Amino acid sequence: MRKAVIVGCEGQDGRLLNDLLTKKGYRIVGLDKHIIKYPKGSRFKKIDITKREEVFSLIRLFKPHEVYYLAAFHHSSESLPDENVELLRHSYDAHVGGPANFLEAIKKFSRKTRLFYAGSSHIFGQAKNKLQDEKTPINPNCIYGITKAAGLALCRFYRSRYKIFAATGILYNHESALRSEKFVSMKIINGAINIRKGRQKELVLGDLRAVIDWGYAPDYVRAMHLIVNSKLPDDFIIATGKRHMVLDFVKAAFGYLGLDWKLYVKENRGMMHKQNFCRIGNPAKLKRVTGWKPSVDFKEMVKLLLVQQRGI
């Protein structure tokens, strides 16, 4: 029976990955801020991923086949700005310090363990090329992107210096019904449903013209599993390569519910506290190496989110 550790097991991707691996028969240890989930018969104490010895103990005793490092510390474009020392500290702990502890633990106690690190398109900052791939220059312009870039560099270092299987997925926006409502995707989905049910009169959004590469989160989690089980560790863009505006998402969601979006949706650019750069990923390498491809397109994804939220 294969064993896995999921770091960030209570987030959207962690929960979806747990479901995927459970169906495949894995024994799973799940870690998050306030909890630890472990298989029956195991006795692990709560793990602080920033404490080196605690991570060492987990890897030494459990010896997982796979570690999925999905922990992240971030906020949405409509959240209040928080580019300060505290954000830097928390981001560093989540995106660099934690992964460093797991990589070092694997090197010392379980060299056959394979690690997947969840990176982000934010490492590219304001990319000059319209379609980013694995060779696009890394040029982050926010704390989240800077620390995610450092985590990716750390994986590359352990991969080349110590021959550890440390693969990374550079993730673009991916959605499911497990998304927090602070993200614009679920703000639109829940707003449309509430308006249809008479619980809300209007939906106010920050920038209807913002362009985003949107994918379906279960597909992206499946990509993580394919990457960690590929022949060689490497870096992979996980994206659709398709451009859609926030307005496209609005039109699709309201259209499926039989609503005229123009009667209910307002734009207030003053809500945007972070500049939202257009980043579109090229998943050609991922498709070539692993055979991955999305199971649904953009409009099907929006419809699935509505169904999952019981809107239709």
The conformation of residue 10, written as its DSSP 8-state character, comes to T
Residue 130 has pLDDT above 80, yes or no: yes
Percentage of residues in the chain having pLDDT higher than 90: 84
Identify whether the C-beta of residue 46 lies closer than 8 Å to the C-beta of residue 58.
Answer: no
The token duo for 158 is 């352990």
Identify whether the C-beta of residue 43 lies closer than 8 Å to the C-beta of residue 248.
Answer: no
Residue 260 has pLDDT above 60, yes or no: yes
Q: Which CATH number is associated with domain 3-176+217-240+280-295?
A: 3.40.50.720
Give the pLDDT of residue 61.
94
Rounded Cα gap, residues 26 and 225, in angstroms? 12
CA 267 to chain centre: 27
Identify whether the C-beta of residue 102 lies closer than 8 Å to the C-beta of residue 63.
Answer: no
Give the pLDDT of residue 6.
97
C-alpha distance from residue 37 to each of 28, 47, 123 (Å): 8, 10, 31
Domain ranges of the chain: 3-176+217-240+280-295, 184-210+244-278+299-308
Q: Over the stretch 290-303, which tens digit does the pLDDT of each residue have?
A: 999 999 999 999 99
Residue 262 has pLDDT above 80, yes or no: yes
Burial (CB count <10 Å: 0-12, 13-18, 19+), residue 272? middle
The conformation of residue 25, written as its DSSP 8-state character, comes to T
Rounded to two decimals, what is the model's pTM?
0.93
Residue 101 has pLDDT above 90, yes or no: yes
Q: Which CATH number fits domain 184-210+244-278+299-308: 3.90.25.10, 3.10.310.30, 3.40.50.1010, 3.20.20.80?
A: 3.90.25.10
Give the pLDDT of residue 198.
95
Identify whether the C-beta of residue 31 lies closer than 8 Å to the C-beta of residue 9.
Answer: yes
Q: Over the stretch 1-44, which tens digit does the pLDDT of each residue have?
A: 999 999 999 999 999 999 999 999 999 999 998 778 887 766 66
Rounded Cα gap, residues 246 and 307, in angstroms? 19
The token duo for 79 is 């959240």
Residue 41 or residue 267, greater confidence: 267
Taken as a whole, the chain contains a residue count of 312
Q: What is the mean pLDDT of residues 78-96?
A: 80
pLDDT bracket for residue 45 (50, 70, 90): confident
Averaged confidence pLDDT in the chain = 93
Q: Over the stretch 174-193, which tens digit does the pLDDT of each residue have?
A: 999 999 888 999 999 999 99
Which residues have a Cβ under 8 Å from the Cβ of 9 and sit 6 or more positions away? Answer: 15, 17, 18, 28, 30, 31, 32, 35, 37, 70
Residue 113 has pLDDT above 90, yes or no: yes
27-31 and 36-37 beta bridge pairing: antiparallel
- Sign of the alpha-carbon dihedral angle for 293, 298, 300, 305: positive
Residue 80 has pLDDT above 90, yes or no: no
- CA-nearest of 148, 58, 65 to 99 is 148
CB count within 10 Å of CB 24 equals 11
